[in-house]
Amino acid sequence: MQEPVPSPNPQGVRPSLVQLTHIIYGLHAIAVLVGVTSAATVAGGFVFGLPSLVAVFINYLKRSDVNGTWLESHFRWQIRTFWFTFLWLIVYGLLIITIIGIPIAWIMIALLGLWVGYRVIRGWVALGDNRPLPV
């Protein structure tokens, strides 16, 4: 006897991929919470925390499954959030090692943490509404 094949939702996406995308946002949210509640920064917890690293690994692993669907925009959003945060952390690192750049670096790391939180929340809300994200 064959297993029933899950029917796609109205927008042509398998429900399991939507659930997986929720899990990925959840992993990113855990990384943000770790950054907020620990000695790490939000951005540092997001980029170097195990939950986000696992989430980005899953993004790359399942990326081909969502190509051509509205979930592709969510995967792109999550991957870009990770890599842009990583790049801004490099800028932060370069600024923090200079005496003149320290105040700028502290302001930047706070703004970066807010930006990461915003991206995770905005993406997850759009996913809950079954909406793609802007490219």
Residue positions counted in the chain: 135
Q: Would you say residue 27 has pLDDT above 70?
A: yes
Q: Would you say residue 19 has pLDDT above 80?
A: yes
User: What pTM was estimated for this model as a whole?
Assistant: 0.86
How many degrees, rounded to 5, is the angle at CA 88 between CA 72 and CA 56?
35
3-state secondary structure of 65: helix
Q: Would you say residue 82 has pLDDT above 80?
A: yes
Per-residue pLDDT, 118? 96
| Domain segments of the chain as ranges | 15-128
pLDDT tens digits for 90-109?
Answer: 999 999 999 888 999 999 99
pLDDT tens digits for 32-62?
Answer: 988 888 777 888 888 888 999 999 999 999 9
CB 70 within 8 A of CB 79: no
**Whole-angstrom Cα distance, residue 3 to residue 11?**
23
Per-residue pLDDT, 84? 96
How many degrees, rounded to 5, is the angle at CA 40 between CA 115 and CA 120?
30
